[in-house]
Structures are given as structure tokens and as C-alpha cells.
Amino acid sequence: MKKYKHIVVPKDGKRITIKGKKLSIPNNPIIPVIEGDGIGRDIMKAARRVVDAAVEKAFKGRKRIAWMDVYAGEKANELYREWLPDETIDAIKSHYVALKGPLTTPIGGGFRSLNVSLRQIMNLYACVRPVHWYKGVGSPVVHPERLNVVIFRENTEDVYAGIEWKKGSKDVKKVITWLNKNMKTNIRTDSGIGIKPISVTGTKQLVRKAIQYAIDRKLPSVTLVHKGNIMKYTEGAFRDWGYKLATTEFRRKIVTEDELWSKYKGKMPKGKILIKDRIADSIFQQVLTRPDEYSILATPNLNGDYLSDACAAQVGGLGMAPGANIGDYIGLFEATHGTAPKYADKDVINPGSVILSAVMMLEYMGWDKAAVMIEKAIQKTIDKKTVTYDLHRQMKGAKKIGTSAFATEIIKNMR
Ligand code: NAP
């Protein structure tokens, strides 16, 4: 058993391993958990109770999660004098599946977002965000039930690669002078510069995951979202490489939108997945005007960031929006909202986002029975109109309850 400086490995749990290119999950897996800063303390307590209750009930005590606290953010800074200690990365890498609360991004020069760092260090290249509506939750649109999408956002490159030079710096002067001289560009000398790399590698691993997800879950389509009309060699290339991957690696399972019309007269052949693409500005309209035509949306990093929050707003807000960062094997499941410091330790915030992220985690582990049980219990709790403040302000005749009481209601409503 590994020895860590501050992490205590639970004695009653076993490590998840890889067997035959698949995760092998014991009945008592050790799951690292980053509690998170601010409201992380409220929501994670609630989430662990809900997950433990569902696993116990679904598997009649035969399965159990052995949670292992690992540290990042403010707590890590107190313990290690570091915001993201190496042993946290090491623990997640060697246990494969982890749950995470929100983390403060320290303000000031020199700090990168801890969330972005975690994704890049472990090559968690797909940010997966399912967005669908829970009946009864208030929404700013007339038909929130029509939106049921899973966003696959590339997670490691694009403008998030962090290659930037500040206006007026020595380096930016070098870059601008070199470009204007050697590449015949005409960049204003008082500019800041950022670089937007999008690679074949990053695109293919993301689109492959998105199509495989559609196949595994028998979903009808994958849409490549890009701004290729303007950025031809980055966003446009994302589209081209996405189609190339689909028509080479998944040839027998997919039909492109062109082929749908040229070969199949617009009638989708049974059992195939439609691969289409949309320009980014158009998809923002389409998810509002024709949401039921979309199922999986595969996007470069920045488009995906915008689109995820816009879609979450359509179904009632951040409090109910789950997310996961997934690589070849590692899955880091996390609340999609931040630390909301004004609500920290007040026991009022909605734990829905991290609970639903844990639902994704249970599905990833193949513990679907417990996952379904939690989702149904959440719906039942909303049906009974016992909800946290954020849902309460959008629902007529509801009773407002706190974070821990909401978790207790979910547990009561499990069957
Ligand atoms: P935020 O923490 O997400 O909070 C913004 C607002 O969103 C809250 O005031 C609240 O709105 C609503 N909200 C957030 N979580 C909610 C929940 N669980 N239930 C109900 N409503 C919820 O964003 P922020 O204030 O911009 O960021 C605060 C810190 O979090 C920053 O340090 C930022 O860097 C960090 N952050 C971390 C992550 C992450 O770890 N993945 C993500 C984003 C931001 P109302 O006040 O209207 O109720």
C-alpha cells in the first residue's frame, strides 16, 4: 500500500485496476475525493451521504465505496503550502476514478486555474456535460424538456493552452516583430497576443470518445460544433478531422449528413449514428429553437465552455448541471459551478450538481443500479416540491430546505 504525506488510504478499500483495457472495479473501491473550497464543504458531505445510501440500497450491502480524502485548493495550501500537491495527482492517477468539489482560483499573477491544471496534467481530454431537464424545475424557456444533450468539450488545448504574451512586454514585441517581418502580418504593436492551438491528436481523442459514447448508449447523432468559417486551420480543421475520424474508425456505424441526402434521400438508415456539423453561432440558436434535433455536441474547448453554461441555464441553472473530465482511463467527476463563497458553510446551497456528477461516476463504474436510483429520487424530491433556495425561487408553491435536508429527502425518496 502506498504511503502518502497527508493522505490516509482507507484500510477497508481496494484499488481500481485496469484489466484487458477496461477498468476492473472491486466491490469496495477506493475513490479519492477533493472536498473543494467554499460550498464544497456543504455539497460534498451531502453527496457522499446520498451516494453511500444508494449503493447500500441498490446492492444490499454487497458493494461500498471507501472514500479517500485528497487535497487541492485552500485545504492543500494549509496542509502542504501548495495549491495542487503532487501526491493528489498521484493518488487520482493511481486510483482512476475520483470525485471533486469546486476550487478557488487564487487571484494574482502566476496562478493558473487549478481545474485547468488538473485536466491538463492528467490528460483528461474530454469534458462531458449531460444537460437535461428535471420535470418541475423552473426554466427561462417554454419547452425545457426538448433539450437533452451531452456536450463533449475538448479539455486540454485551444486558447486554454495558456500561451499568451502581455501587451508591451519584451516577448510580445519579439513575437509581433517576427510575425510582421517574416509572415507579412500587420499586427498592431500595442496588441497582446494569445495562441490557439488545435491538434489532430486532441481533436481525434475527443471525437472518438463522443462517437463511442453515442454507440454505447444508442444515441442518434453527434454534431461537431466549430467556428471554421472564420478560423479555418483550427476550428475548421476540428470539423474536418472529426469527419475523417468518423468515416475511417466508425465507417460501418455512422452516416454523415452529406451521405444522408446523397445516398439515403434524407431517410436515416436504422441503427446508424448521424454525424453532422454546425457553426458555433448557429448552434446557440438551434439549442433554443430546435433542441430536439441534437443529441451529442462535440466542441473545441472555448465553444464548449460557453455552450455548456448556456444549455445549463435553459434547464434551470448551474445547481443541477453535472460534469466529468475523462481521459483514456481516469475519470474526474466534478460540480460544474464554483465555490460560491457567500453561501459557504451556511447549509443552503443546492448539492444537485455534485450529486449528479457522482451519478455519472457510478455509471462510469458500471454501478448503474445505484445511479438510476439517485436520479429517480432527485426527480421525486422535486415532484414533492421540497427544494433548495435556487430551485425554490423558480417554483410556485415549493418548500425551501437546506443542503443537508435536501440530501435527506433524496435518501428518503430512494426505492
Ligand atoms: P460560482 O461559485 O459558480 O457562483 C456564482 C453563482 O452561481 C452563485 O452566486 C449562485 O447564484 C450560483 N450557484 C453556484 N453554485 C450553485 C449551486 N450549487 N446551487 C445553486 N446556485 C449556485 O461562480 P463565481 O462566484 O464566479 O466563482 C467563485 C470561485 O469559484 C472563484 O474562485 C472561481 O475561480 C471558482 N470557480 C471554480 C470552478 C471549479 O472548481 N470547477 C468553476 C467556476 C468557478 P445566486 O447567488 O444567484 O444564487
pLDDT means over runs of 10, the chain (415 residues): 90 96 96 97 97 98 98 95 95 97 77 84 96 92 96 94 93 97 97 97 98 96 97 98 98 97 96 97 97 98 95 87 95 93 96 97 97 97 95 91 98 95
Name the domain boundary from 297, 314, 331: 314
Clarify whether 218 is annotated catalytic: no
- In angstroms, what is the span from residue 305 Cα to ligand 1's centroid? 15
Same domain? For 26 and 100 the reply is yes
Q: pLDDT value at position 19?
A: 96
Q: How many CB atoms lie within 10 A of CB 111?
A: 12
Same domain? For 150 and 298 the reply is yes
CB contact at 8 A, 72 and 34: yes
What is the C-alpha separation between 402 and 388, in angstroms, rounded? 6
Same domain? For 296 and 382 the reply is no
Ligand 1 atom closest to the CA of 352, numbered from 1: 18
Same domain? For 14 and 99 the reply is yes
Name the domain boundary from 314, 329, 364: 314
Extract the runs of DSSP E, i.e. beta strands, from 166-295. 193-194, 221-226, 254-256, 273-279
102 domain residue, yes or no? yes
What is the C-alpha separation between 336 and 309, in angstroms, rounded? 9
CB contact at 8 A, 414 and 55: no
Rg (CA), the chain: 22
Total number of domains constituting the chain: 2
Which residue is closest in CA terms to ligand 1's atom 30?
Answer: 338
343 domain residue, yes or no? yes
Instruction: State which residues form the domain around 237.
Output: 140-157+196-314
184 domain residue, yes or no? no
Structure-derived torsion over alpha carbons of residues 10, 11, 17, 23, reported in degrees to the nearest 10: -60
Same domain? For 94 and 121 the reply is yes
Instruction: Residue 403: name the closest of 50, 6, 28, 35 by CA.
Output: 50
Q: pLDDT value at position 109?
A: 57
What is the C-alpha separation between 356 and 42, in angstroms, rounded? 15
- In angstroms, what is the span from residue 313 Cα to ligand 1's centroid? 13
What is the C-alpha separation between 107 and 253, in angstroms, rounded? 47
CATH of the domain at 241: 3.40.718.10
Adjacent-strand bridge partners of 97: 331
Which cell numbers in the block locate residue 106? 487564487
Q: pLDDT value at position 336?
A: 86
Clarify whether 294 is annotated catalytic: no
190 domain residue, yes or no? no
- In angstroms, what is the span from residue 243 Cα to ligand 1's centroid? 36
Clarify whether 385 is annotated catalytic: no
Same domain? For 324 and 289 the reply is no
Q: pLDDT value at position 318?
A: 78
Same domain? For 151 and 245 the reply is yes
Ligand 1 atom closest to the CA of 104, numbered from 1: 32
CB contact at 8 A, 398 and 392: yes
Clarify whether 160 is annotated catalytic: yes
Q: pLDDT value at position 1?
A: 67
Same domain? For 145 and 292 the reply is yes
Same domain? For 99 and 14 the reply is yes
Annotated catalytic residue, options 63, 158, 227, 343 = 227
Adjacent-strand bridge partners of 326: 126, 331
172 domain residue, yes or no? no
What is the C-alpha separation between 162 and 165, in angstroms, rounded? 9
CB contact at 8 A, 119 and 324: no
Annotated catalytic residue, options 258, 281, 328, 383 = 281
Same domain? For 274 and 356 the reply is no
Ligand 1 atom closest to the CA of 103, numbered from 1: 40
203 domain residue, yes or no? yes
Which cell numbers in the block locate residue 50? 446520498
Adjacent-strand bridge partners of 24: 17
CB of 355 within 6 A of ligand 1: the answer is no
Same domain? For 202 and 79 the reply is no
410 domain residue, yes or no? yes
The best mutation among 337, 347, 357, 406 to test binding of ligand 1, ranked by most ligand atoms within 8 Å of the C-beta, falls on 337
Phi, psi of 383 (to 5 degrees): -55, -40
Same domain? For 216 and 309 the reply is yes
Name the domain boundary from 283, 314, 345: 314
What is the C-alpha separation between 106 and 102, in angstroms, rounded? 13
187 domain residue, yes or no? no
